[in-house]
Structure 1
Amino acid sequence: MSLGEVVSLSPKQERSIAEANARLNIWSGAIRSGKTIASLLRWLMYIANAPRGGALVIVGKTADTIARNIFDPLMDPAITGPLSRRILYTRGAPTANILGRRVEIISSNDARSENRLRGMTCAGAYVDEATLIERSFWDQLLARLSVKGAKLFASTNPDSPTHWLKKHFLDRAGELDLKHWHFTLDDNPALDPLYVANLKLEYTGLWYKRFILGQWVVAEGAIYDLWDPDKMVVDSLPPMERWLSLGIDYGTVNPFDAVLVGVSTPDVQGQRRIYLASEWRWDSRAERRQLTDAEYSKRLTEWMDDLPDTYGPGTSGVRPEWMIVDPSAASFITQLYRDGHAPTMGDNSVIDGIRTVSNLIAADQLRVHRSCEGFLSEIGSYAWDDKKAERGDDAPIKVDDHALDAVRYALHTTQAAWVPLMDLAA
């Protein structure tokens, strides 16, 4: 297959494809840097001439990520040209047909997946988002690549420098039959320069180093390092285009916290922003009394009914579009349904949620009303856990983060609704 006739490639992509002839071939680096396309095209070339007598396998974290990250590009004629018609796959199916070869599809998020792998003899494998794969699954996959000439191809965003993939494989490339290519955002000349410039502004700290520079760096220091209370804390609210969500972090012994979120109408520059408009908090230790689920629901409803219009036009009696609740609060979610609300279970992907909030702060698209005292008291001390970072895990210190969790649920779970509004404003 002639790559030049299918898709325009950067020199680094072409070089990595031409050199990917080791037993283990790994592309890592920044988002949108071209690493995934290069690895997929090399995988496609490998399938066309793969050894017989063994299975071909595609591995990803979930069925959805496999479909989105692997098959959407492979089946796009703009990327694979006429070969796209020879790639047959139905989302969620256990197998695909690629260039006439049967390919097994395995989601490593499924507890049964490693058992399925144990019975295989493999001639080739492609792994998407390799840092998200469990080490035991990875080791089992390598053991199954026993056909003569079998090869593995993998792509990944970088993680902690102590992650097992970095420490035990990439750092030992000279000892192993392994080739590794590192990509930065600037390695993809096909991207719109304005998009690249905006992305570099939107990511900060840890995220900038990993997702722009493609570095394997440890999480350290303050999480929201660009938080600027002098600019981002306000005493009044503009009119809201949408009352977006109410994020709720449930607590009994720990504080219960709810934060109301709105999207403002465009200002004179056409800029919309996310506003944390108001906060309700119940700290059972300070109040010397715990509330029941029914009492929480009643007081939350009364709080929304009684919000004064002085917070901003239309605040009194507000009912946001979504009520996003801590996913661990099953009994409280049931109580809200009984009381006529329509709660949604929050997305508790902690790191992704932190990144969502970080990007809003970096893009200067977040404002917080001064009445949100819990959030304002917590954000300045919100920091990465050094001990967990040493073990290769990115995690915040779980102290005084109740309003922060409520905001994370409210924003990350609803980002499909508000991100297009921010894009239009930009």
Structure 2
Amino acid sequence: MSLSALVQEIRIPIIDVYDDFFQRNKEKLVLCVYGGAGSGKSYAVAQYLILRALEERGKHFLITRATLPSLRLSCWMLIQHLLREYGIPHAVNKSEFWIEIRDNKLFFKSLDDPEKIKSAEFNYIWMEEATEFNYQDFLQLKLRLRRKNKLQNQIILTFNPIDAYHWLKTQLVDTPADNVAVLRTTYKENPFLSADYVQELQRLSEVDENYYRIYALGEWGILQNLIYTNWDVVDRVPEEVDQVVYGLDFGYNNPTALVEVRIKENEAWVRELIYQSHLTNQDLIDLMKGLKIGHAPVYADSSEPQRIEELYKAGFNVYPAMKSVKDGIDRVKRYKLRITKDSVNTLKEIRAYKWREDKEGQVLDEPVKFNDHAMDALRYAIASMEGRNAPRIRIL
């Protein structure tokens, strides 16, 4: 059965270029699927694995990312969403993170604890956001493809081409072996994207050439001129700190981002609390009430005074943030940032957050405005805490 046949049976939307690619390459061991943002590659691979689970029996699947929090917020949620949407019977084990379809098991394991995978055997492996992995990770995972199968076992890698010097390009894409198939796609192959998102991607040509090349054209870029290098990843935040503040970047079609920042001397622990699209102000208020923010100051995007006022009336100490981007970035750079590993979107943003370059390659004194919602929230919190907007605490 092809994805096209599955469409007719349970009426799901597919992108033809992926259906053709998977059908032509059933005998290949390694499938590299890369390209720009919005190309639908993650959806397509999830659909392909669901199809394999419907057609086969007794197979083991591994879906993996570098960390468990990122895996839970992406593939784990995506595959469950698709199974519910398509009405496919399945069982979910939330404590051990596996899904059963017929008598096939889909295991969701991260590589932050390699012992979980070391002795296991699989028929199909999906490495989502493969740029998070190193070459040794890939080789080790490929060795796990030894579970008995009449068909070809496969490992699938999906990623954005963010670094022209990455092993994915040098070891796989540039010189693919006979058992490797490569597909590059862009947003143009995805007919299901909203017009607003398409315009945002096209606008990147006027914003930053490197971002446009990576995220719109799906071509290899070079991430240079990064803004923040003063950060690392931690398991949790400390309880005893000097100050706790919050930064809030409003959105609707784009995500609303709320981050908590805990300050102790020259260190700032950062924890992502909300990163979600299509939130009304009432939705946001309801979510924030469950976070036990208390009387701590929340610094929010000053271009949304009405939303700030609504949150203030709902009982939060919300104040307009300092808006100077350059000054705000300078203040954030004074701290050693400790970002919790479950702050998935914040980590993804900070890894790519860079200064703009014009068409002549000159570096400008402003960041690229793309996928920067948590970065804005982080800047609001730290810069406003130090600046003139420091509030008087409102006692409720």
TM-score by length of 2: 0.58
Report Cα offsets for 1:386-409 as digits up to 9, x if no partner. Answer: xxxxxxxxxxxxxxxxxxxx9894
Deviation at 1:18, TM superposition (A): 2.2
Q: Distance in 1 between matches of 2:81 and 2:119?
A: 32
1:264 aligns to what SS in structure 2? coil
Deviation at 1:93, TM superposition (A): 2.9
Structure 1 unmatched runs, 5+:
225-240, 253-259, 284-321, 330-345, 363-377, 383-405, 415-426
In the alignment, which residue of structure 1 is the partner of 2:200? Answer: 198
Q: Which has the higher helix share?
A: 1
1:152 aligns to what SS in structure 2? strand
Partner amino acid, structure 1, of 2:70: T
Q: Does 1:37 align with 2:85?
A: no
Deviation at 1:199, TM superposition (A): 3.2
Partner amino acid, structure 1, of 2:81: D
Partner amino acid, structure 1, of 2:159: T
Deviation at 1:132, TM superposition (A): 0.7
State which of 185, 196, 199 in structure 2 corresponds to 1:183.
185
Q: Distance in 2 between matches of 1:79 and 1:282?
A: 46
Quick check: 1:20–1:42 contact (8 Å CA) kept in 2? no
Deviation at 1:151, TM superposition (A): 1.3
Partner amino acid, structure 1, of 2:197: Y
Deviation at 1:27, TM superposition (A): 1.2
Deviation at 1:139, TM superposition (A): 0.6
In the alignment, which residue of structure 2 is the partner of 1:12? Answer: 17
Deviation at 1:196, TM superposition (A): 0.6
In the alignment, which residue of structure 1 is the partner of 2:69? Answer: 64
State which of 326, 332, 337 in structure 1 corresponds to 2:336.
326
Report Cα offsets for 1:95-143 as digits up to 9, x if no partner. Answer: 3323332233211123xx2x33221232221221111123222111111
Quick check: 1:88–1:98 contact (8 Å CA) kept in 2? no
In the alignment, which residue of structure 2 is the partner of 1:395? Answer: none
Quick check: 1:248–1:326 contact (8 Å CA) kept in 2? no
Distance 1:48 1:358, change over 3 A: farther
Deviation at 1:172, TM superposition (A): 2.2
Quick check: 1:354–1:408 contact (8 Å CA) kept in 2? no
Partner amino acid, structure 2, of 1:124: Y
Quick check: 1:262–1:275 contact (8 Å CA) kept in 2? no
Distance 1:328 1:247, change over 3 A: closer
In the alignment, which residue of structure 2 is the partner of 1:210? Answer: 214
Partner amino acid, structure 2, of 1:327: L
Distance 1:413 1:186, change over 3 A: farther
How many residues align? The count is 288
State which of 279, 301, 313 in structure 2 corresponds to 1:263.
301
2:123 aligns to what SS in structure 1? strand
Structure 2 unmatched runs, 5+:
229-248, 251-258, 268-297, 306-319, 368-374, 384-396
| Structure number, greater radius of gyration | 1
Distance 1:220 1:14, change over 3 A: same
Q: Distance in 1 between matches of 2:381 and 2:42?
A: 25
Deviation at 1:62, TM superposition (A): 2.1
State which of 155, 158, 163 in structure 2 corresponds to 1:155.
158
Q: Please show how residues 171-320 of structure 1 align to structure 2 within 5 Å.
A: 171-173=174-176, 175-201=177-203, 204-220=208-224, 263-265=301-303, 275-276=323-324
2:301 aligns to what SS in structure 1? strand
1:410 aligns to what SS in structure 2? helix
1:33 aligns to what SS in structure 2? coil
Quick check: 2:328–2:379 contact (8 Å CA) kept in 1? no
Q: Distance in 2 between matches of 1:280 and 1:192?
A: 32
Q: Distance in 2 between matches of 1:57 and 1:207?
A: 31
Q: Distance in 1 between matches of 2:60 and 2:261?
A: 49
Quick check: 1:96–1:103 contact (8 Å CA) kept in 2? yes
Quick check: 2:15–2:189 contact (8 Å CA) kept in 1? yes
Quick check: 1:222–1:381 contact (8 Å CA) kept in 2? no
Q: Distance in 2 between matches of 1:57 and 1:176?
A: 23
Partner amino acid, structure 2, of 1:352: E
CA RMSD between the two structures? 4.8
Distance 1:136 1:196, change over 3 A: same
